[in-house]
């Protein structure tokens, strides 16, 4: 068989990779911090985090988590130090997977629940009875603080709606003393009349304790002019639990 230089070089490259991976096997190279010198495809066991990592580009920021360790309690996870952003770990006492966002521990799973009421209001009905212009829901998982990530809305404006005649939707939180605080607002100014419309979502990304978020309300008011009747469909809130 004739000698093939390209095949030979490919074989040599693969042997070099195999040797490197054999040297850098988890358990053989380990420590409570990453090594001072990084190599592409290098594997490292962070013994303090009980997790295996691989380096994808040979730099100090190229480490990526390969395994998700389990800890007996969430408290043990929260006590970890020198934790890289996006590190994940499973707590056996509460049966949740958590990740570190660089500031706090959050559940990997993002929960959602609806503000369930469906209402149709006209400008006249809201003006006559402002309390009609509210839909609300009680929050869930009151044993944890929550990290509110997103709020999405669906509406339908029957007739007049444009940049000078539109509705404003405000998401409020109500605390345990019944005081309301606005979280954010969006509006229907770009909606086409007679067509279901999803206004720009809210992305508050804020931590709320159980006392701060006793329930949530969506208030809708005239943003400008005299818009047509509005139908407000169930809104959806998205959140993660805070460890």
What are the pLDDT digits (tens) for 188-202? 999 999 999 999 999
162 with 188, same domain? yes
pLDDT of residue 117: 64
pLDDT of residue 28: 47
pLDDT at residue 20 tops 60: no
pLDDT at residue 231 tops 70: yes
Q: Structurally, how many domains does the chain consist of?
A: 3
Cα–Cα distance measured from residue 2 to residue 14, given in angstroms and rounded to the nearest whole number: 21
For residue 198, what is the DSSP state? Answer: -
Q: Which of 15, 36, 67 is the last residue of a domain?
A: 67
37 with 93, same domain? no
CA-based nearest residue to 217, from 117, 111, 110, 112: 117
**pLDDT digit string (tens) for 34-85?**
988 889 999 999 999 999 999 999 999 999 999 999 999 999 999 999 999 9
With pLDDT > 70 as the criterion, what percentage of the chain qualifies? Answer: 78
What are the residues facing 1 on neighbouring strands?
Answer: none
* Domain coverage including residue 98: 69-107
**pLDDT digit string (tens) for 74-100?**
999 999 999 999 999 999 999 999 999
77 with 124, same domain? no
53 with 125, same domain? no
Calculate the average pLDDT of the chain: 84
97 with 117, same domain? no
pLDDT at residue 131 tops 50: no
């Amino acid at each position: 068989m004739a000698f093939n230089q390209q095949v030979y070089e490919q074989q040599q490259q693969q042997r070099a990779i195999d040797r490197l991976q054999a040297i850098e096997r988890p358990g053989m190279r380990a420590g409570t911090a990453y090594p001072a010198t990084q190599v592409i495809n290098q594997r490292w066991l962070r013994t303090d985090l009980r997790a295996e990592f691989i380096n994808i580009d040979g730099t100090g920021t190229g480490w990526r988590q390969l395994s998700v360790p389990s800890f007996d309690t969430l408290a043990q996870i929260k006590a970890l130090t020198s934790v890289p952003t996006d590190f994940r770990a499973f707590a056996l006492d509460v049966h949740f997977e958590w990740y570190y966002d660089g500031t706090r521990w959050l559940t990997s799973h993002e929960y959602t629940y609806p503000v369930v009421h469906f209402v149709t209001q006209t400008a006249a009905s809201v003006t006559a009875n402002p309390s009609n212009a509210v839909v609300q829901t009680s929050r869930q998982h009151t044993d944890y603080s929550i990290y509110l990530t997103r709020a999405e809305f669906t509406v339908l404006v029957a007739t007049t709606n444009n940049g000078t005649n539109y509705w404003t939707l405000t998401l409020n939180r109500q605390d345990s003393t019944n005081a309301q605080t606005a979280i954010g607002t969006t509006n229907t100014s770009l909606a086409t009349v007679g067509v279901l419309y999803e206004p720009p979502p809210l992305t508050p990304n804020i931590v709320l304790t159980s006392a701060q978020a006793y329930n949530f309300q969506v208030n809708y008011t005239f943003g400008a002019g005299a818009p047509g009747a509005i139908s407000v469909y169930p809104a959806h809130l998205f959140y993660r639990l805070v460890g």
